[in-house]
Each structure stands twice: as C-alpha cells, then as structure tokens.
Amino acid sequence: MVVTGAAGRIGSAVRVGLRGEAEHLVLVDRVGLAARSPAEDVRQFDLRDAEAVAAALAGADAVVHLGGVPDEAPLPELLDNNVQGTHNVLEGARRQGVGRVVLASSNRLTGFYPVSTTVTAEMPPRPDGLYGVSKIAVEALGRLYADKFGLSVVCLRIGSFEDAPTEQRHLATWLSPRDCLGFVRAALTAPDVDFAAVYAVSANTRRFWDVAAGSALGYTPVDDAEAFASRIPAEGDAARGLQGGAYADAEYTLRHL
C-alpha cells in the first residue's frame, strides 16, 4: 500500500493507523521521512514527477493519495500540485495495475451551499474558493479514470480534521482522528466500487452533509462534535450562513489573485 502526503497531519495519522495492517507500507512525501518499522518504505520526491510516482506504485494493491496543497493558494500552484499531482497518481495506478485508489477530496468543493441545506455527493459543486475548484478537478479525474480505464476510485470529501472542534463551524464539519481512519479503512476495503464520492465527517448533530454514501461504503462515524459545544464561543463562522464559513469570504481568495 502507498500513502502520499505521509508527512502531513492526516497522512501521519493514517500512517500510524495502517502501520500494523499493511504488509508493506510505502510512504511518499516531498519532505524527508524516517521508517519506523520494518514494514515501512519511505520515498522522498515531488508528486509532479510522474515516473517517480509510477515507480513508487509498482506492486501496490492500493494507494491513499493525500499529497498536495492543503488550502487556498494561487490557481497555478493548485493546478500544478493538486491536479497534476493527482493525475500522476491515477496514471501511475493505471500503469501499475493498482486495485484501489483513495483520493483526498474536500468539503470545500460545496462550501457555497447555505448551512440550512443538507448536501449530498450527487449535488452540483459550489466551491468556496480556488482550493475547492482544484478538488472538483481531482474528483473529475478520478471519475474519468474509473469510467475510461476501470480503476476503482473512492473520493473522500474530508471535513475539518482536528483532535477536537475549536470553532462554531466545526460543530458541523468536524472529522475526528478515529472517524478519519474509519473512513480510510472503508474506502480501502469496500467491495465492488467503481467510483464513489463520500463525505468523511463525524456523526455531528449539526452536520451539513449526508452520510448515507459513507454508510454504503461500510463505515458509520461514531464521534459527535456536540460533546464539545459548551467549550466553543457562540460567535463564529457558522453565523456567515454558508457552509464554507470564512473560506467563502471574497478576501480569502482575493489575496491569492
């Protein structure tokens, strides 16, 4: 199994969670990593290097693709890293016969829906910024490779990954480390998947997104941000009326144009 972006926050959690479950774990990042078990194989390169990506995927049965720019940035940077990097992973998976590709998508490709709307994965994208646009392209590439080349692809629309929620928006969007690993495991092992897009979010009482697709994949989240509600100030992003909160503000993108 291969994990890209293995040095990142989610990548580090996935690395620990899968270490005892994968016979051979190839960890990829542009920064240096050190192997922490005999099962780990670390590779340092940029995902824009298509041949290095393909070489890392040789013999792999699955890849969890978490690498890329994780937030708003100039569009050329997002296209170069998130879109081109994902294309290289998918093309490498096609060439090497990888059985399952799990792509890190984002809730922010639907951040312009009102907080009053329950969004499903089938609804049209409404990105809250350029980062969300890049994730629409990531999902489109995944769909293309599933439809045209027969890859089995799962896109996880990741919520707010935090140890605990710290702001109002998180009461709807929080993804706990335990639930994150649950969704990743389900995305790796669910049978008979051609293509699926799933909101990876904890069982938050106030969540914006439908989790039926996640249940169909084989995982039902267990944590609820409501347990932390009394610790979070009443004012915050949720008052903006859009699911993206501050990410949907014009200023959040204008500084990158």
The enclosing domain of 198 has a CATH number of 3.40.50.720
- Cut 0.85: pTM above it: yes
Q: Nearest CA to 102 among 34, 225, 11, 205?
A: 11
pLDDT in tens, 158-173: 999 999 999 999 999 9
Q: What gap in Å lies between CA 32 and CA 7, rounded to an integer?
A: 8
Pick the catalytic residue from 131, 145, 247, 252. Answer: 131
Domain containing residue 107? 2-254
Q: What gap in Å lies between CA 25 and CA 63, rounded to an integer?
A: 10
Distances (CA, A) of 247 to 72, 83, 92, 110, 243: 8, 20, 32, 11, 9
Asked if 111 and 128 touch (Cβ cutoff 8 Å), the reply is: yes
β-strand pairing of 40-44 with 62-65? unpaired
Asked if 111 and 234 touch (Cβ cutoff 8 Å), the reply is: no
- Is 131 a known active-site residue? yes
Q: What gap in Å lies between CA 7 and CA 67, rounded to an integer?
A: 9
Ranges of the chain with pLDDT below 50: 237-239
How many domains, in total, are found in the chain?
Answer: 1
Q: Nearest CA to 26 among 51, 61, 50?
A: 61
